[in-house]
Structure formats: C-alpha cells, structure tokens
Copies of this chain bind each other. A is one copy, B any other.
Amino acid sequence: MAAPEHIQPTQSPKGTRDFYPEEMRLQNHIFEGWRRVCHAFGFEEYEGPTFEHLELYVGKSGPEIVDQLYVFKDKGNRDLALRPELTPTLARMVNQKGNSLRYPVKWFSIPRLFRYERAQRGRLREFFQLNMDIVGCNTVAAESDLVGAVIEMLKGFGLGSEDFSVRISSRKILSEFLDRLEVEASKKPAVYSALDKRSKIGEEPFRKLLREQEIRDSQVDRLEAFFQCRSVPELAALFEREQETPGLTELRELFALLAHLGYEAFLSLDTSVVRGLAYYTGIVFEVFDKGQNLRAIAGGGRYDSLLSSLGGASVSAVGFGMGDVVLADLLNGKGLLPTGRQGVDYYLADVAASELPRLELLLLAKHLRSKGLSAAYSLNGGKLKKQLTEANEQGARRLIFFGSDRALPGAYEVKDLTTGEQKTMREEEL
C-alpha cells in the first residue's frame, strides 16, 4: 500500500521518552525496587484504565492538575482524559466494590501518568509513578506504614539519611491553626493553595494572594511563626493553653512511632508542606533530596473525604506517589543506577561460519532455554571473530565454542567472559 506523503516523525512527542534497552533496564531496576518493598509490606498490585471520564478529575484533583489534562472525545462523543494521577481511579474502584471489599485495603500500582506541563528538569508530560494507598485505617498506623515503606524503598536504592529526608506536616493542624487565627472555613482552600505556592513565588506575591482572601498582615505574621516551627513541641507551644488538638496528637504519635522504628534520622517536621492536591485532610508528607536541587521525590497524605465526595461511603484513606523521573535523576547523579546491558547467560559461537545457524547449535540453545537459562547466537552467521564481538556487545556471561574439535562428544569448550577462564564442560554441567 503506497504511503501518502506525510511528515516523517523521527522524534517522540515532546515531553515523552523512548526507552531503549539501556534505559529500560534502569526503569526496570526502579520498578523492581518499588515492587519488592510493596510486596514486603503486604501490599497488592492493581491497575486502572489509562484514560477516565473527564468528570472524575474536574473539581477533585485541584485546578493545577485540571489545567494540565490531555482531554479528548471518543467516537461516542464522551469527554475523556488521560489520567494525570491514579488516586481518583483508586477511589472509583473502591467505591464500585463498596462493602464487598475487606478493609483495610493495602494496594499499590505503577501507573503511567500524563500532564501537559512545560517540559523541564524533573518534569515530563508522560511519566511513571508508584502509588501506595491504605483505605480503611484511620490511625497513624497507616501513615507510619507508608512513610516506613518510602524510607525502605529509598534505602533499597542505596540512599541514606544524608541523601534525603521525609518532611512531615498536617493539613489538620494547619486548619486548626487557621481556626485559631479566625480565618473563615470557606477561605481555607485558597489559603492552602497560596501556601503550597509560597516557596516558589516568594514573600510578596504570597502576601498578596493572602490579602486577596482578606487575611490581615498580622495574621500572616503569625502564620510565619507557624512555618518556623521545626518540632512538634515548638508547634504545640503556638497553641498556648490547648496543646492537645487532634492534629497535634496525631503528629506526636506518628513521630514517636517512626522514631521507635529507627527512622528518626530520616524525618523532619516541615509545616510549610501543604501539597497541591485539593483532597488532603490530615497528615501530609513530601520527600526531598538533601541537595534540594530537585523537586519532591515523593509526596502524599491522608484524604478522608475523597471517596465520599465521589459518591462512596465515608472511608478514610492515606496514600503517596513517587515518580520515576526525579528519582532516576537523583540515583543517576549518585551513581546508583546499574550500568551496561542485562546480557545473556550463554552465547553460542559457531567455530565454522554458516549462513543459517546450524541445527545442532539451535538444539543446544533450545535445551539451555528449557532449563531457565538465556541463550543467544548469531542469527546472521559470519566468522568466529564477528560472533565473539557480538557476544561481548550483548553482555554475554559465558561463551560456548560450538563445534570446537577440542571438545569431546556431548561436551563443550566454555569461556567465562567475566573471569576469562576457559574449560571443557559436559552438557549437563552448563
């Protein structure tokens, strides 16, 4: 069929990536590190569709995310959107099953997500993100589990407390403090949004945003004092007489639990962590590298109202997301990603050149593969030297000189390409 004249695209669309085998190996290293800890913590994997009905996101994910949606209509004229995050899908799936699920639900997923953002370091328009969520547990046992899992994952990748910290805060305590400042409930969402932007936009634009919400400068000064707190006792002192608000108690319990579990060096209280998403209701946390050159490695928190706002029962939930892009940048900068190719266990080199691979060689490859080993050979034949080059390029660990007259029947000349050692091995020893 003759192809019509078209621009021939040789590049992937802007903000997306091609994963050649070298890059895919790094991705798989990250996916495996994530999966291993999720399984160790007893979480089960799930997945949802790549696109959802547009309504699932509008009014739930917050305006920043909705502005970045890839929206399209299907041929039935329905509005769909490529998923910008997985939490609304999780909420939908939990709501759909309702009481037939056993709570608490401990689920994880590694979805591919889509946000139309200005492409920049650490941000792409298409990326992978680990999601771990607990639905149906309303104590800090859930937050503790998730923060512990985040720390174990990053440790598993070779990072230590000198490399990253988990900054913990609480929407609840911020809300309690805003009550104390007599900020009206209806203004809180706009205040949260301003607070989330604070470090990016700077002092004056931040105060301006708050003034638009009729927050007085004296109130902003007290908020500044709130943001200066670096420990739960300091924070409690700001509450003066009434030092046992629900928000304070939760924070105290979570810090105590995580410290007892040996994670103290990884933690800090950071009341400036607010999280951009609209649906958080309690403890929130973000993970940053200590170089602070990068965006957050992970972030999450408690969202006790999302499921009911999507038509489900009132079920508490906590979760976090960890993207692949910032994490890979960080690991790469510290030399913590695997190098080279995955390689095969055996490369079968034919000492006699032939055009089609020799049948006996193919049968040996079949035999090795049936034993769970990986085996490759030259598909195009060629001289032995060319085959040896291919074996090296493919990262083969062992080389079999097939048809070598040095080997006895049923035995092979085998070279270990890691050590350089060469010996004769019987077929059953391979």
Q: A260: nearest residue on chain B (CB-CB)?
A: B359
Does any Cβ of B come within 8 Å of A352's Cβ? no
Does any Cβ of B come within 8 Å of A409's Cβ? no
The answer to whether B42 and A374 touch across the interface, beta carbons within 8 angstroms, is: yes
The answer to whether A3 and B50 touch across the interface, beta carbons within 8 angstroms, is: no
Taken together, the copies of this chain in the complex come to 2
- Give complex CA distance A357, B140 in Å: 10
Q: A41: nearest residue on chain B (CB-CB)?
A: B369
Does any Cβ of B come within 8 Å of A330's Cβ? no
Encode contact with B along A9-35: 1 for CB under 8 Å, 0 otherwise. 111111011111100110110000000
Q: Which residues of B contact A3 (CB under 8 A)?
A: 59-60, 309
The answer to whether B1 and A278 touch across the interface, beta carbons within 8 angstroms, is: yes
The answer to whether B356 and A253 touch across the interface, beta carbons within 8 angstroms, is: yes
List 28 interface pairs A-B (beta carbons < 8 Å), by A numbering.
Answer: A4-B59, A7-B55, A8-B310, A9-B55, A10-B96, A13-B52, A13-B78, A18-B48, A18-B49, A18-B89, A21-B107, A37-B369, A39-B374, A40-B372, A40-B373, A42-B375, A50-B50, A50-B82, A70-B74, A71-B72, A75-B116, A104-B379, A106-B376, A139-B355, A141-B357, A152-B370, A257-B362, A261-B362
Query: Interface of A with B (CB < 8 Å)?
Result: 1-4, 6-14, 16-21, 24-25, 27-28, 36-37, 39-42, 44-53, 55-56, 58-60, 62, 70-72, 74-76, 78, 80, 82, 89, 92-93, 95-97, 102, 104, 106-107, 112, 114, 116, 126, 134, 136-137, 139-142, 144-145, 148, 152, 189, 253, 257, 260-262, 278-279, 309-311, 341-342, 344, 355-357, 359, 362-363, 366, 369-370, 372-376, 379-380, 390, 393-394
